[in-house]
Structure 1
Amino acid sequence: MSLFVLMCFDKADALPRRAAARADHLAYIEQRLEKVKLAGPLLTGAGDMAGSLIIYEADDRAEVEAFAAGDPYKAADVFERVEISAFKVTRGALA
């Protein structure tokens, strides 16, 4: 198993769609807590949600891509882009 970081950046006009899909998104994350090691919204300077950061444990990148594709925020057209990177913990609570 490996860790991956998903950096998800919202479209400029996505806040209403994000709000509408939030309950489904949170349920989707909740159903995968054995794989989701950390998750939360990225915030603007004003404190509005503007994206998501997720650390996900998976066998390979294809599994992470499938997870991202199934996110209700994807179906709600919230994200402008999603960047996925392999990640290695060297310090902190997950180390």
Structure 2
Amino acid sequence: MLFVVLKKDKPDHQKVRADVRPEHLEFLNANKDKIAFGGPILTEDGSGMVGSILTVEAESAAEAKAFLENDPFAKAGLFESVEVVPWKWVFKNPAA
């Protein structure tokens, strides 16, 4: 099952994001079999990153959350909030 994950950064944590980003990208690459797609949420003018959206493959929301706790961004305390919701990919699904 797919889960969409919406993660919003804590205010004034741009340095944390920048410092930990290389480790975060390594984590994503090492676990790419569990991630359908993802990327950063940008500021309105597109000049900065203020969160992340990932679509994660997992058996349950609890499994998806446990997986996400290992993300270096999460371990660094970057996120103000994390929302995990089940999702069905219908439109433009490359596997369909």
TM-score by length of 2: 0.92
Judge which range, 61-70 or 36-45, deviates more: 61-70
Secondary structure class of the residue paired with 1:4 = strand
**2:22 — aligned with what?**
23
Q: Is the 8 A contact 1:9 1:51 kept in 2?
A: yes
**Structure 2 Cα separation of the partners of residues 46 and 17 of structure 1:** 21
When the two chains are superposed, the root-mean-square deviation of aligned CA atoms in Å is 1.0
Give the number of aligned pairs.
Answer: 94
Question: 2:82 aligns to what SS in structure 1?
Answer: strand
Structure 1 residues 48-80: Cα deviation after superposition (integer angstroms, max 9, x where no partner)? 000000001111112101111111011111100
What secondary structure does 1:56 align onto? strand
Give the ranges of 4+ consecutive aligned residues of structure 1 lying more than 6 Å apart after TM superposition.
none
Identity of aligned residues (%): 37
Q: Which amino acid aligns with 2:67?
A: F
Alignment-mate amino acid for residue 41 of structure 1: P
Give the match for residue 55 of structure 1. Answer: 55
5+ residue gaps, structure 2: none
In structure 1, C-alpha distance between the alignment counterparts of 2:9 and 2:30, rounded to whole Å: 23
SS in 2 for 1:86: strand
Contact 1:14 1:77 in 2 (8 A): no
